[in-house]
Chain A
């Protein structure tokens, strides 16, 4: 079912204008292939988060459409769509005192009816999501008592419990130390390898993006400037054009992926 030409998540000519001098997104088109991990990178204010949020139907574009498997996501019933497309926004906040299991259980919402609030299958899926994120032992802990890394894993567990084939993550590693960044991104990689999940994430760290993504899309001022595999995209000219930095790119001896060594600002 992944082979039909309209499969996947497709943004078509989307324009989002917040009323500033330049639009946040300027007629951007992007096809996210099924079963691929894509990273969206770009400097602050380049529109990368807006692109992700629009493709995740959290933001309605002024012009253009977003299609999932050929259907306009803004026309589909919210609940149906939520079984296929999940998006985890940047730094979500849980109410004070909420437990991890109550948080993760919300991921089952699109699969339930009001009279069927906690079926055995819901429990099984939430348990699997907790296991996968290493949160089982903390199931009854309060979200506000967790460390930043644990908290982020709890939110990702919510997204996993939603069982969508496509998952969008907006800066999933913000505020995390290097070990927890690896934790979260390894988790994304495992999900992809074991279930063939389609993942799109906004990342700030270029070397992390190069290490974990199959494809990198670079944005600047609301337009896509570069798009391709990490080896093709992460080059000194691209870094100059998109990020205004002069940098050396070396090959990471452990991963074989490009690694960015910044030298100085150029812009």
Chain B
């Protein structure tokens, strides 16, 4: 124990409760009812929206039919539509929402900047360049393309990895603290965005249009192969984040205080940015750049929970809800035309975020 401190060796127990806690043996957690409430509400809402969403489409089902089909009861056709066609798509949306929201929450805290988003790390731009390269040079419209055999998700993943390596190599020199990684990411992003533009200009109009749909971010025709990589990445990230999650709190006080209170800045920075990059890369490879989720979900979580930074669990739940709800709207607003979910997220999410910020400003000004 601390033999001699600046305070007494053994301070008397505090006569008041400063922060509520749940304690069991050597385990203790800060108890924040509002965070739990917000998280549970978002999870519940996401589940309800997902059930509705599973029933919507050419072959329409009631929520009750959906639930029984999920449990394995119903006609063969119901089982096929729910379990094989729609479920992987919805789950991919959920997983992508979780991944992007966690990545965004980490970036906003480590950069101490409300505008920070993993989109700016260059990963999304790299994935886009990979995907667009395959779509435009892969030759479905023209008969023979040089990248014909490569699948779009694979190409997107390769692009994301290349961009990631570039960002990591460059941040290793420039320093991982604060806003530095983002500035480098913006440079890398600009490079890949230029490449995307070149591909789009050179491509036949049909391919360019397909590439544009991918670039908006969409869950259309997503299936199990797109789901598993995100699920795996989220699981790995959770394992990494659980022991470091509480240290995010000292990071938001700035690097000096974080180091003074015992946070190993370099290794923690590598770890957090690594997790952010991994989650963003896998999400981008699977569903395209749904990047706005990474910005909006942590802000909503932060404000709903009344905290200075987004709690990761709450942000994840809200991220899932945002993607699932946007996908439902994307499929129903102009049915039978399916919009890309990314467009809906940006069109609704943008004004929503601005509205929230203004409403909060007004409340705090009073």
A residues at B contact (CB < 8 Å):
56-58, 77-83, 86-89, 92-98, 101-103, 105-107, 109-112, 114-130, 132, 139, 158-165, 167, 191, 195-197
Say whether B6 contacts A197, CB under 8 Å. Answer: yes
Given contacts A97-B306, A128-B8, 5 further A-B contacts (CB under 8 A): A92-B257, A112-B246, A127-B14, A128-B14, A167-B6
- Nearest CB of B to A123, in Å: 5
Say whether B254 contacts A93, CB under 8 Å. Answer: yes
Residue of B nearest to A79 (CB): B262
Say whether B11 contacts A125, CB under 8 Å. Answer: yes
* Cross-chain pairs A/B with CB under 8 angstroms, 5 sampled: A82-B261, A102-B308, A112-B246, A125-B5, A129-B7
Which of B13, B29, B253, B309 is within 8 Å of A118, CB to CB?
B29
**For B259, B262, B263, B265, which residue has the most chain A Cβ atoms within 10 angstroms?**
B262
Say whether B247 contacts A109, CB under 8 Å. Answer: yes
**For B27, B243, B308, which residue has the most chain A Cβ atoms within 10 angstroms?**
B308
8 Å CB interface, B16-33 against A:
16-19, 21, 23, 26-30
- Nearest CB of B to A32, in Å: 15
Contacts of B71 in A (CB 8 A): none
Residue of B nearest to A139 (CB): B18
Which of B23, B256, B259 is within 8 Å of A120, CB to CB?
B23
Contacts of B5 in A (CB 8 A): 125, 163-165, 195
Say whether B19 contacts A123, CB under 8 Å. Answer: yes
| Cα distance A89–B257 in the bound complex, in angstroms | 7
Contacts of B245 in A (CB 8 A): 114
| Cα distance A107–B243 in the bound complex, in angstroms | 18
Say whether A195 contacts B4, CB under 8 Å. Answer: yes
Say whether B7 contacts A163, CB under 8 Å. Answer: yes
Say whether B6 contacts A164, CB under 8 Å. Answer: yes
| Cα distance A165–B7 in the bound complex, in angstroms | 9
- Nearest CB of A to B353, in Å: 17
Say whether A95 contacts B28, CB under 8 Å. Answer: no
Count: A-B pairs, CB below 8 Å: 160
**For A92, A127, A160, A167, which residue has the most chain B Cβ atoms within 10 angstroms?**
A127
Say whether B253 contacts A95, CB under 8 Å. Answer: yes
Q: Is B75's beta carbon under 8 Å from chain A?
A: no
Q: Is B12's beta carbon under 8 Å from chain A?
A: yes
Contacts of A130 in B (CB 8 A): 18
- Nearest CB of B to A244, in Å: 31
Chain B 299-340 interface mask (CB, 8 Å, partner A; 1/0): 000000011110000000000000000000000000000000
Say whether A96 contacts B308, CB under 8 Å. Answer: yes
Q: Is B112's beta carbon under 8 Å from chain A?
A: yes
Contacts of A58 in B (CB 8 A): 256, 259-260
Say whether A123 contacts B18, CB under 8 Å. Answer: yes
Q: Is B351's beta carbon under 8 Å from chain A?
A: no
Contacts of B265 in A (CB 8 A): 78
| Cα distance A105–B7 in the bound complex, in angstroms | 14
| Cα distance A94–B258 in the bound complex, in angstroms | 12
Residue of B nearest to A124 (CB): B11
Say whether B4 contacts A196, CB under 8 Å. Answer: yes
Say whether A162 contacts B261, CB under 8 Å. Answer: yes
**For B4, B7, B243, B307, which residue has the most chain A Cβ atoms within 10 angstroms?**
B7
Say whether B308 contacts A106, CB under 8 Å. Answer: no
Contacts of A87 in B (CB 8 A): 256, 260
